[in-house]
Structure 1
Amino acid sequence: MRNGGHVSALGLPNDEVLLQVSATGKAEAAPDEALLTLGVSTSGGTAAAASAENSVVMGRVTDALRALGITPENIQTRSVTLNRIDYGPERGRYQAANMVEVRIRDVAKAGPAIAAATEAGGNIVSGPDLRVADPSATDNVAYAAAYRAARLRADAYAKAADLRVRRVLAIRDGETSVSPIYNMRQGREVTVQTVAPPPVVMQGVNTREVQVHVDFALGR
């Protein structure tokens, strides 16, 4: 070690200064899948009648989705409910609802999927949530950008202090966040009353933002 092996309280040689830098990096990627929540709500004079009608309509909805090439493993039941209606004009009747989550591997099919489901009798739609199926490649680009930003900041501090970056002591991940941009997202359930052309789903891009913390040793 330098200076006869003397070290600071931080464990560094006395001629080195610890600099801790946090930086963020971003990378963009076009989403390649869409998640939709589709549902059927029906009512009947008895619980059995409401359930039977719901089953028939939901069968038509799933058949319409499969006709678009959406395979069964990409259609998952999220909830099935049956309730007695205790208010309003349908008081005393029963309401059945079945909600499924649909994963669409081609964003271009999101609009047609919504149209097909509603034409088949689906009356609840939520989504689409557009996302990147495998974000790891985008994350790697963002992490590289974050480290470069940290290094540039460290070089700036070092220059201002008439020092230089001698070595990197540690690199730690921060939190990762996802920010969709220019995506059509419907967070609330909407009841579809009439047949309409397929809604326009704009693919846009998703931005991945990551943070890194880097410890540098500065010296002359």
Structure 2
Amino acid sequence: MKLIRASLCAAVLVAGLSPLAAQEISAGARRTTLTVSGEGTASAVPDTATLSSGVVSEGKTAREALDANSSAVAAVIEAIKAAGIEPRDISTSGFSVQPSYAPPKKDSNDAPRIVGYQVSNGVTVRVRDLSKLGDLLDQLVTKGANQIGGIAFDIAEPGKLEDEARVAAVKDARHQAEIIAEASGVRLVRVVSIAADGGARPMVRQFAAAPALMKADSVPVEAGETTLRAGVTITYEIEPR
């Protein structure tokens, strides 16, 4: 009796709605869905690189350390410009002045004693022509840079590569849905919803030799390959075959 009473109540509720609303509820109650996730990748050889370099100088006074550092950094920046790097791609990335302390004597309670100063000045460089990278690294060290950070390779215009990864992700999701539907004895009716898993993002790169970017008289450089990954989740309406 409870089941019959509940069915009658539902029927009365649907009857009291507009024809369109009643149709939507009825269709929603019958709809069966399948949700799958797809992943796609797209790869390309990087065409830009960003590196950080700098000079650390020491002196008995802060003034002495600063003068030595300023002279060395000026030479480094001049070398960067001489390598064909535009001013817009050169920026100061860090500057500090710090005291240097003498090591404490054993079993001593004396306060640390300043014995000099250390000045550090960093420069970040974006290289748009990778054929210049090896020579640039060599010149940086030659002109006085004693700190060089990691080199980050990138794609200057990643839009096309991102689109390729997204298309591949949708195709992968569709392929999985078709396999599952075929094995389950159902067919895909239409797409109910699509959700992208954020923007395309870099994966761990696969490094490969790039002979065109290396010269015998410069620092060997390997650009490798940059891979972007994209993900998508798609829900399909399904029905029996």
For Structure 1 versus Structure 2, the TM-score category normalised by the shorter chain is 0.7 to 0.9
Aligned-pair CA distance for 1:160 = 1.4
Aligned-pair CA distance for 1:7 = 4.4
Matches within 5 A, 1:1-220: 5=23, 7=25, 12=28, 14=30, 16-87=31-102, 92-175=115-198, 176-179=200-203, 180-182=205-207, 197-220=217-240
| CA–CA separation in structure 1 for the residues paired with 2:222 and 2:140 | 19
**Cα RMSD (Å) of the superposition?**
2.3
SS in 2 for 1:95: strand
TM-score scaled by structure 2? 0.78
Aligned-pair CA distance for 1:114 = 1.0
Aligned-pair CA distance for 1:77 = 0.8
| CA–CA separation in structure 2 for the residues paired with 1:167 and 1:97 | 61
CA contact (8 A) 1:35 1:101 kept: yes
Q: Which amino acid in structure 1 is aligned with residue 45 of structure 2?
A: A
Cα-to-partner distance string for 1:9-50 (whole Å, 9 max, x where unaligned): xx7361x42111111100001111001000001111210111
Structure 1 116/183 Cα, relative in aligned 2: closer, same or farther at 3 Å? farther
| CA–CA separation in structure 2 for the residues paired with 1:159 and 1:13 | 23
Aligned-pair CA distance for 1:197 = 5.0
| CA–CA separation in structure 2 for the residues paired with 1:43 and 1:20 | 63
| CA–CA separation in structure 1 for the residues paired with 2:57 and 2:208 | 31
SS in 2 for 1:133: coil
TM-score scaled by structure 1? 0.85
SS in 1 for 2:218: coil
Instruction: Return structure 1 stretches of 4+ with deviation > 6 angstroms.
Output: none
| CA–CA separation in structure 2 for the residues paired with 1:155 and 1:115 | 55
| CA–CA separation in structure 1 for the residues paired with 2:127 and 2:224 | 16
| CA–CA separation in structure 1 for the residues paired with 2:99 and 2:217 | 34
Q: Give the aligned length.
A: 203
Is 153-162 or 196-205 further displaced after alignment?
A: 196-205
Q: Which amino acid in structure 2 is aligned with residue 84 of structure 1?
A: P
Cα-to-partner distance string for 1:151-176 (whole Å, 9 max, x where unaligned): 01111111112211111111111144
| CA–CA separation in structure 2 for the residues paired with 1:177 and 1:215 | 23
Structure 1 79/131 Cα, relative in aligned 2: closer, same or farther at 3 Å? same
Q: Which amino acid in structure 2 is aligned with residue 213 of structure 1?
A: T
| CA–CA separation in structure 2 for the residues paired with 1:156 and 1:5 | 31
Gaps of 5+ in 1: 185-195
Q: Which amino acid in structure 2 is aligned with residue 36 of structure 1?
A: L
| CA–CA separation in structure 1 for the residues paired with 2:101 and 2:126 | 35
Q: Which amino acid in structure 2 is aligned with residue 160 of structure 1?
A: A
Other-structure match for 1:190: none
CA contact (8 A) 1:108 1:201 kept: no
Which is higher, the Rg of structure 1 or of structure 2? 2
